[in-house]
Amino acid sequence: DIVSVVRLFQAQRTTNVLVTGLPGGLGIFTNTTLQRAILDGRPLNQLPVGDLASGPVVTVRPSDQLGDAMVLLLSRRVHRLVVVEDSGEVRGILEALDLFSFLANHSHLITVQIEHAQDLPALAQAAVQITRLIAALHRGGTRIGLMAKLVQQLNARLFERAWTMVAPPALVNNSCLFVMGSEGRGEQLLKTDQDNGLVLRDGYTAPPDLDAICQRFSEVLASFGYPECPGRIMVSNPDWRGTVTGFGQRVRQWLLQPEGDSLMQLAIFLDAHAVAGDATLLAAVRDGVAALAVDNDAVLARFASAVENFGGPAGWWSRLFGLGDEGRAISLKKAGIFPIVHGVRSLALARRVAATGT
């Protein structure tokens, strides 16, 4: 019962205990849960701990990297991780404050700053801190992949809060705001051009000032240090907004009738990662595209051909040997990074792999 737990809190000088025997596995009872127990109204000595315990807990192994544990805390939005051996033996509880204090990189403070921000200027301050965090992590020798994961999680929180401040609740609840490009793949470190879009729920009537709302959001991100996309791949562009059905038809047209830049637009869209609203709306559009591509070699070959189209007519080696000539420099993005990223993206589409990271 709850009274027994409070006695345990006092005896062990702790603020949380693990709870066994729950249907979903191991649970946890904390000081915060105790507050809910008091407000429940039932006598505490008759209230079972399992009725209010949270679970199942999020676990890590003793051998996991601290940086990976930090990413897990941010992505799952929890304050504690339970350290469990492969055998199932519990080794202890890793508190968020202890972890972030140990790492001493202020990422937890940025998360708190984002969550507690009451206006856009407060969010702008958090955006500045994200850039400083990356510099500190780089100086400390943190792995690039880990830094990219952290940036993706922090940016997602930042964009979500900004969107909820700009858009009315009904729009937020009936849409899915998503990011694309390196941000969508979780491979961004420093701030780059905005690449985002919006999927609306079928049957939902968007507010009449939707254009103004989306334009305001793009301006807000620009003020945070994320430049507007030169190709206008942003929610402020109506071409990157639409209902599940409408957006799905547009994306399928890119795949089945590639003309002009449609292959590149499709490639960009397949990096889409939900950051706010109902993520199932974006998933519905992606599933429709994947269904068309499965076992369709012609479609997949056409999609993969963007590797050649994006790099221009000259081959890799002709550009390589022209390094010393004026005007014949190599674009590392087009000739080096894009073929790898798009090649993996094409294979993922063929195998129906939903993950966006290269």
Beta strand 241-243 with 196-200 is parallel
Q: Residue 316: its pLDDT value, please? A: 47
Q: What is the pLDDT of residue 104?
A: 52
CA 120, CA 118: separation in Å to the nearest integer?
7
Question: What type of residue sits at position 13?
Answer: R
Q: What is the pLDDT of residue 314?
A: 47
**Angstrom distance (rounded) from CA 356 to CA 358:** 6
* Nearest Cα residue to 163 out of 150, 149, 178: 178
Residue 297 makes CB contacts below 8 A (sequence gap 6+) with none
Neighbours of 331 (CB within 10 A): 13
- Cα dihedral sign, 36-38-42-48: positive
Residue 239 near residue 319 (C-beta atoms within 8 A): no
CATH code matching the domain that covers 2-98, chosen among 3.40.50.300, 3.90.600.10, 3.30.420.40, 3.10.580.10: 3.10.580.10
What pLDDT, on a 0 to 100 scale, did the predictor assign at position 317? 46
Please tell me the distance from the alpha carbon of residue 158 to that of residue 318, in angstroms, as a whole number.
43
Asked whether the beta carbons of 123 and 217 are under 8 A apart, the reply is no
Residue where the block lists tokens 């254009």: 211
> What pLDDT score was predicted for residue 103?
60
Q: Which of 247, 237, 162 is nearest to 199 (CA)?
A: 247
Q: Distance of CA 155 to CAs 60, 66, 69, 211, Å?
A: 24, 20, 18, 23
How crowded is residue 198: how many other Cβ atoms within 10 Å of its Cβ? 28
In the chain, the amino acid numbered 342 is H
Q: Where are the domains of the chain?
A: 2-98, 173-351
pLDDT at residue 101 in the model? 63
pLDDT averaged per 10 residues in sequence order, the chain, 358 residues:
86 86 85 85 84 88 84 85 90 82 64 88 90 77 80 91 97 97 84 92 96 97 92 93 94 78 84 94 89 74 74 49 55 78 84 78
Cα 149 from Cα 147, distance rounded (Å): 5
